Amino acid sequence: MKSISKAHFFKTGVMLLPFVFGACTTDESSSAWERPDSFGDVLYERHLGKGTSAAFECKVYSQNNHVSLEMIFDVPAYQSTMNAVYYFEVGDPANMYVDILLSGMFQDESDDACAGLKANNEGMKVSCSRSHVTGKSELESVSEASSSLVLGMMVPKFKSQCDNFYDNYKDIMSGLPGRWNYGNGEPAEPALLCDVNLTDDALHMNVDYSTRSMAMEVTHYSINGEPMGAFRVAESYAGVPADTLAMICSAYRQESDLSGVYCEGSTISYLAPEEQDGEVMTLEDMAVVYKKEVCPGLLDGSLSMEDLWFND
């Protein structure tokens, strides 16, 4: 299935834009800002999904005396979410609020988010914990007569920020299994069964559809008992046409990280490196990937066998 990959505990690349509107003073108030129940009318939005692995959305809102941006990046398999809000409010003084909620693996990004917020927003009062990063700045006062003009200037800035988030997280999500979802498209046929079992020395995965099935075994590869730093993967298929098997074999042989690809009948075997992105994977790591990322997508049709065979 050519889907051996490191479990994706990736760096999120939090991007925080500086907002400069003249003099900026640190707010000394100890009261925390609370998100409103509604941010107003949606002016702009971007959406992106990758199978069941990850979902992204970013929206720009406008209401009365403020414009705001909300970005959500969700990785359900690892119960991890980043939710960031930028909120600009005109008045005397004008205020900029930043509120970032982090859960799961995104909590490892809190230090970077905190440092970025401080570096890019001079004078902002920043409060940081592993699960919550906030910032508030008082800016130059904006008169009622000028408020529409100033808010209008902020809208394209927030739209550009949404576009930057979209491009950044699309690049991150490209390494996750599943087909792209831009808000449309039909799912593939869902698998009837996707089962992963781990023993002391092997990983077994079985996938069943109504007309075809696959059984995979992964073991550590060694020669005369000497570990070779590779996994040996054997895939056996039933109900897959011979011409499709030939295409799979050809695709595997073109993969630079696979070696020793051998195809005979309905069985394809190959070697895959244990080291992925500078880290050595274990069979336990692989089991996590298949259980949390691959099987859910195959079972709900957001991921197909063809996606894994041909990297579609």
Backbone angles phi, psi at 267, to 5 degrees: -115, 135
Rounded distance between C-alpha atoms, residue 126 and residue 135, angstroms: 4
Which residues, at least 6 apart from 226, have a Cβ–Cβ distance to it below 8 Å?
none
Higher pLDDT, 23 or 260: 260
> Of 18-27, 159-168, 292-301, where does mean pLDDT reach its minimum?
18-27
> 112-170: per-residue pLDDT in tens?
888 888 887 777 888 999 999 999 988 777 777 677 888 888 899 999 999 999 888 88
- Inform me whether the pLDDT recorded for 203 exceeds 70: yes
Radius of gyration of the chain from Cα atoms?
24
- Predicted pLDDT at 10: 41
> Of 11-25, 223-237, 289-303, where does mean pLDDT reach its minimum?
11-25
- Inform me whether the pLDDT recorded for 300 exceeds 60: yes
pLDDT band for position 270 (50/70/90)?
A: very high
Rounded distance between C-alpha atoms, residue 48 and residue 273, angstroms: 31
Rounded distance between C-alpha atoms, residue 94 and residue 60, angstroms: 19
- Inform me whether the pLDDT recorded for 185 exceeds 70: no
Which residues, at least 6 apart from 182, have a Cβ–Cβ distance to it below 8 Å?
47, 48, 49
Average pLDDT of span 263-272:
96
Higher pLDDT, 239 or 20: 239
Q: What is the pTM of this model?
A: 0.67
Strand partners for 101: 83, 132
Angle, CA of 274, 277 and 278, to the nearest 5°: 75
- Dihedral angle, C-alpha 211, 203, 200, 264, nearest 10 °: 80
Backbone angles phi, psi at 197, to 5 degrees: -130, 140
Closest CA to 53 of 286, 284, 300: 300
pLDDT band for position 301 (50/70/90)?
A: confident
> 57-98: per-residue pLDDT in tens?
999 999 888 999 999 999 887 889 999 999 998 888 888 899
Closest CA to 284 of 176, 201, 215: 201
> 48-66: per-residue pLDDT in tens?
888 777 889 999 999 888 9
Q: How far is CA 61 from the centre of its chain?
A: 24
- Predicted pLDDT at 219: 96
- Inform me whether the pLDDT recorded for 269 exceeds 90: yes
